[in-house]
Amino acid sequence: MKLYEWDFAPNCRRVRMYLFEKGIEVERVECITSDIILKEDFRDQYVHEMVPMLELNDGTQIGEGLAIWHYFEALYPEQPLMGTTALEKATISSWERRAYDGGMIAHAEILRNSHPAMIDRGLPGYSQRIPQISALVDRGKIRVASFYKKFNDQLADNKFVAGESFSVADITTICVIDMGHAMEMNIPKSAYHVNRWYHQLQERESVQKSKATHMPDGSTIT
């Protein structure tokens, strides 16, 4: 079994953090060149041309972080991170999706439409040229502001994002925020409860161990 990933990518970190929380060890394979392009052999191997991708021993390929979570959650139900009751599962799923769609996609919208390395790569997973659209940077910033307002309100009355227990909703949310930090977009001062939660999570081993060890250019993070 192998996990194909890009060390710096928040989507890949979501899977690493989950695996650390569950105590599951999987061989990791870095798939990005120093030019921030997927390696050619990986593109030939995986038709969707995106990471993370979990390849099972029989060659079965499972793409997308959410799908990989579901696979391992079914195999290792102990210490559940996706809920146990119908209500828990629904609540965690809804807040995890809000973090992903409202936070991660918003930050990615800004990054892919402004970073020089992303010229003609406005969307992931496409071989053809996808031009940057500058207006999407401004729209992304509006979405990020909404993300922080919504999650600050939610964390005002909850220890964790989806309630009183740590879950995949927290995993995606902290990966979103650290993605913002890498883009020099910090937690706004008005998001007091998000900031409290963020510093509380720094004590978790999975948060520290899942952090990227290399910058996008391949240089080591010290």
Report which secondary-structure segment, H or E, holds 83: none
- Fold match, 2-75 / 86-204: no
User: What confidence tier does 222 reach under pLDDT thresholds 50, 70, 90?
Assistant: very low
Q: Is the pTM here over 0.85, yes or no? A: yes
pLDDT exceeding 90 applies to what percent of the chain?
74
Residue 215 has pLDDT above 80, yes or no: no
DSSP assignments along 133-150, one per residue:
-THHHHHHHHHHHHHHHH
Are the C-beta atoms of 127 and 49 separated by less than 8 Å? yes
3-class DSSP assignment, residue 188: coil
Query: Among 36-45, 111-120, 198-207, 211-220, whose mean pLDDT is lowest?
Result: 211-220
Q: Domain extents for the chain?
A: 2-75, 86-204
Residue 27 has pLDDT above 80, yes or no: yes
- Mean pLDDT, residues 112-125 taken together: 82
User: What confidence tier does 220 reach under pLDDT thresholds 50, 70, 90?
Assistant: low
What is 2-75's CATH number? 3.40.30.10
> In b/e form, how buried is each residue of 21-32, taking b as 16+ CB within 10 angstroms?
bbeeebebebbb
pLDDT digits (tens, 9 = 90+) for 51-81: 999 999 999 999 999 999 999 999 999 999 9
The answer to whether domain 86-204 has CATH 1.20.1050.10 is yes
Are the C-beta atoms of 171 and 18 separated by less than 8 Å? yes
